[in-house]
Amino acid sequence: MSGALRGLTAAARLRLIERLAQRRAGQEGPAGAEPLGEGGKRRFAGLSGMRDFDLFRAALHDLGVDSPFFRLHEGRAGARSVVDGKDCLNFSTYDYLGLNGDPRIAAAAKAAVDRYGVSAGASRLVSGERPVHRALEAALAEWHGAEDALVLVSGHATNVTLIGHLTGPQDAVLHDAAIHNSCVEGARLAGARRVAFPHNDWAAAGRELAAIRAQHRHVLVVIEGHYSMDGDCPDLARFVEIARRHDAWLMVDEAHSLGVLGGSGRGIAEAQGVDPRAVDIWMGTLSKALCAAGGYVAGPRELVSWLRHTLPGFVYSVGLAPPLAAAALAALEALRAEPWRIERLNANARALRDGLAARGFDVGASAGHAIVPLLTGSSLKAARLSDALFRRGVNVQPIVYPAVPDRSARLRFFVSAAHAPQDIAAALEAVSAAARED
């Protein structure tokens, strides 16, 4: 430990490091090229954000906190997992419905390997189709009340390529301030004007849209059905009305909604009683409730057909691996047959959210569906609390700057239908004990 920190209490060391970080952030000018060190090892030290990363890493070291990132899971990551050799309650997996490792889904994936091999071999446009791709797309389209759907190899890449392809320099993308990075990157790729409105503020979105609509050829409004950082939801009907009034497209990212919201898991439209056909574009991922990997777009047949022949992230990328398509399709069928999983998931999430709030912790605006944040107010506090919980057998990851502003740093609990009530109770007790230690 550095001399400046030796002998201080943990809380005092934390305050000192945070003041140092604030002071350095205010004093340092724009990042520029730095002299090369021996062997050229400093060639990338001037990259934007690398100094902040180095400072955060050094602060963790000075506080005696192990990095919470990239820990090794030694088996299936479910409600429990063996992490770095330690048996833990696990709140760091997207396995919302507890289907990862389900024998039906594993069997579907293995059968696809036997029939099609592991890889699609090339772009589907080049190498041809597999029946499992078409079956999955038909099921996803039906799930969203859409005419057609298209699956891609990555959820993040789906948003980047879709928004980058739909819009251009003459267009604008109006999005929630808390929208996922992939949507922001898509707008940047397109060169479209990007306008953010305050989180979930449909009235502000309406004012912004009214102000910019006449200046642009097209405007794409992008929101999430269930926000991945806060666990809250927008008022979908309001956003539909705003988009229609101003002749804009409305796109809803359902990555954390499918299998989570609505009585049968069909997402925010079902949960809020909105006709899904009122949304122009549905987007989602296969990696969360469907426990596979990949992304998809669902919408009008004319749009999906055009995307199937022109979307860069689909045309110029290998097709989704057939075992992943088969696994996602089997998971969707299991969800259709077992809606009790959604009820159990939401009951667990509400119990965790309400239990944390009753103990005086800040859970933000979590709606109690699958994502429960615990706001800490600083990145270092989030890292310390995560470390203390891991030592108590609870695996939950911190979300730190730059993923969120430092003042909004948090622990983010991903809840599963596979968690038992005693798992939630044990987690609550562990959080209380770890906070008292800090």
List active site positions. Answer: 228, 256, 288
CA distance 108 to 113: 9
In the chain, what is the straight-line distance between the N-terminal and C-terminal CA atoms, in Å? Answer: 18
Give me the phi and psi of 414, to 5 degrees please: -95, 120
Region of 294 on the Ramachandran plot (φ > 0 left; ψ -120 to 50 alpha; else beta) = left
Contacts of 219 (CB under 8 A, 6+ apart): 171, 172, 173, 174, 209, 212, 213, 246, 248, 249
Cα dihedral 423, 426, 428, 429 in deg (nearest 10): 180
Q: How far apart are alpha carbons 373 and 89 in whole angstroms?
A: 17
Task: Give CA–CA dist 274/108, Å, rounded.
Answer: 33
Q: What is the dihedral of CA 419, 422, 425, 430, to 10 degrees?
A: -80
Alpha carbons 383 and 40: distance in angstroms, whole number: 32
Contact 398, 377 (CB under 8 A): no
Token couple for 2 = 């550095």
Does residue 123 contact residue 317 with C-beta atoms inside 8 Å? yes
Q: Are 283 and 249 in contact (CB under 8 A)?
A: no
Q: How far apart are CA 320 and CA 119, in angstroms?
A: 8
Neighbour tally for 36: CB within 10 Å? 11
Distance CA 210, CA 242 (A): 9
Question: Measured between alpha carbons, how far is 366 from 232 in angstroms, rounded to an integer?
Answer: 5
Beta strands in 16-135 (DSSP E): 80-83, 86-90
Strands 193-197, 172-176: pairing kind: parallel
DSSP, residue by residue, 257-269: TTTTSSTTS--HH
Residue listed under structure tokens 């056909």: 277
